[in-house]
Amino acid sequence: MPAQVITITSGKGGVGKTTAVANLAVGLALEGAKVVCIDGDIGLRNLDVILGLENRIVYDIVDVIEGRCRLKQAMIRDKKLPELYLIPAAQTRDKNAVSPSDMNRLIKDLRNDYDFVLIDSPAGIERGFKNAIAAADRVLVITNPEISAVRDADRVIGILEAEEKGPGALIINRLNPALVKNHNMLSAEDVLDLLAVELVGVVPEDENVIISSNRGAPVAFDAKSRAGQAFRNIAKRLRGETVPFLDLDHTGGLWQQFQRLTGRK
Amino acid sequence: MSETNSLIQIKGLRDGLLVSLDDAPWEDQRVALLARVDRQPAFFQGARLALDVASQVLRVNELVELRDRLSERGISLWAVISESPTTEKTAQLLGLATRISKPRPEENRQYAVEDLGEETALFLNRTLRSGTRIEFSGHVVVMGDVNPGAEIIAEGNVIVWGRLRGMVHAGAKGNRNAVICALDLSPTQLRIAEEVSAVLRPRENPEPEIARINKDGKLQAELWSPG
């Protein structure tokens, strides 16, 4: 079966696109899928750092497109997962070095040999974003439960619809159940109410995400982290499995659990 | 070459270049336009282009394709003018202008305010997401939500069968009798003619409301009540 090409995008910067790509790639590879992730943020590459592969980069995506190396030479194998590869972005070039048709050609060469191609999109809705969605079969829009991020996600979903890439599916990242409970943060329902698209996952706020990103080992490797669990669940859903959503309220401590048991909440 | 030239007319406008195409097959027109651009790259470099496509029916893919080709050549497509409603809708979806400051001759007619009653309405059976801008010379009816960051500018009334959370300007040409109705009226901003109202207090349980300019000349919203 040819690879499913999935682009992760957001409009707004800093909501967790790169973290999501790294973790979904790890989650899919842990499930036994053959995965390639592509850093589409040319000029501001990050995905290599989060995967802990930056010191192995010899060639990058622009080298492939401009014919300075073969595709296989630019594909870096993960340290732990032999079926996970990264095609890094160029750090010294900008988005104009790649065109949507270049992306289509590159991905055509990957389709037959892998199960998933994940593309990390840059922030914004300009050239780099257009490149990132050009070859996508499916687009995941990631947002935080904040008004500004949700509005940008809405804009991106509108553009995806206009470009006939489907409405996209949504990941809500960095939800803090305690803040939601006190009405200090938009809930997943509030976000869905506005965006009205399919939800593929809600990832709770978790400091392990930052710790593991800095270590170069995505949190999806961490069996105990709730964010890691959420990302692994999304990976399973991308493979077509039905996985129930995490009960995020559970982090609320004994008192809430007691309330739940006694039916008061 | 003279053959391809005949398909395309180019003239300068205040805000860019206006390229007029005729009804010949789209593929020919597209090729001719790009060929023309490639012959004089220096002239077109950095240009803002408005495209008059006459009655061509264009889909999103076709416009996106052309926009990409043009942008690769350093040209930004900013408007698509068409007699076809489908094409106009496509252009709106892509955030392109559908009118340029110099009106087309047939739009030159000035409507008296009373005429608006018989004016046409634009029916949009979808949710307008952030970044969408709808401009229309008549009434606008939306069957869906108007999300924050979306804008509707209508010369007539605006009816939203859904949640209105974006910006709506009714009576944009000065019709103070224009109204704005929505099932849930929680806009970022409302304007009727020259009156502007900032946030209306959001309701816990939204009910249909209608906003109009009241006797004191203020923009005000009231609950809809039957009869």
Q: Which of A99, A100, A162 sits opposite B94 (nearest CB)?
A: A162
* Residues in contact with B115: Cβ distance below 8 Å, sequence separation at least 6, in sequence order: none
Residue A130 pLDDT greater than 70, yes or no = yes
Which residues in chain B are closer than 8 Å to A103, comparing Cβ atoms? none
* Cα angle for residues A18, A19, A21 (degrees, 5° grid): 65
Mean pLDDT over B76-104 rounds to 76
Domain count, chain A: 1
What is the model's pLDDT at position A177? 93
Mean pLDDT to the nearest integer, A225-243? 95
Suggest the residue from A155, A186, A190 to mutate for an interface test with chain B (most B CBs closer than 10 A). A155
CB atoms within 10 A of CB B139: 21
pLDDT digits (tens, 9 = 90+) for B46-70: 788 888 888 888 888 888 888 888 8
What domains appear along chain B, each with residue ranges and CATH number?
Answer: 2-105 (3.30.70.260), 110-223 (2.160.20.70)
Sheet of B195-197, strand order: B133-136, B151-154, B167-170, B189-192, B195-197
> What does the pLDDT read at residue B111?
39
Calpha distance B161→B147 (Å, rounded): 13
Q: Output the pLDDT for position B2.
A: 43
Q: Which residue in this structure is represented by tokens 């065109």?
A: A99
List the 81-140 stretch of A: residues with Cβ below 8 A of B: 99-100, 127, 130
- The pLDDT, as a whole number, for residue B79 is 86
Q: Do B132 and A157 touch (CB under 8 A)?
A: no
pTM recorded for the entire structure? 0.71
Write the pLDDT tens digit of every residue in B143-163.
999 999 999 999 999 999 999
Which residue, chain included where needed, has tokens 């050239």? A127
Mean pLDDT (chain A, rounded): 91
A253 has a pLDDT exceeding 90: no
Residues B1, B197: Cα–Cα separation, whole Å: 56
Q: Are the beta carbons of B139 and B152 closer than 8 angstroms?
A: no
The two beta strands, B189-192 and B195-197, are antiparallel
- Residue pair B152/B145 in contact (Cβ under 8 Å)? The answer is no
Q: Which residues of B18-33 are buried (b: 16+ CB within 10 A; e: fewer)?
A: bbebeeeebeebeebb
Of the two residues B128 and A1, the one the predictor is more confident about is: B128
pLDDT above 70: residue B5? no
User: pLDDT tens for residues B160-196?
Assistant: 999 999 999 999 999 999 999 999 999 989 999 999 9
User: Does the predicted interface ipTM exceed a cut of 0.90?
Assistant: no
Binding-face residues of B in 154-173 toward A, CB within 8 A: 165
Measured between beta carbons, the chain B residues lying within 8 angstroms of A164 are: 60-61
Cα–Cα distance list, B151 to B82, B184, B188, B190 (Å): 21, 16, 10, 10
Check CB contact of B143 with chain A, cutoff 8 Å.
Answer: no
pLDDT at B45: 80
C-beta atoms of A151 and B148 within 8 A: yes
B76 touches chain A (CB under 8 A): no
Q: Tens of pLDDT along A81-115? A: 999 999 999 988 888 889 999 999 999 999 999 99
Confidence of residue B6 (pLDDT cuts 50, 70, 90): low
Q: Is the pLDDT of residue B1 over 70?
A: no
Under DSSP, the state recorded for B149 is T
Parent domain of A57: 4-261
pLDDT, position B76: 84
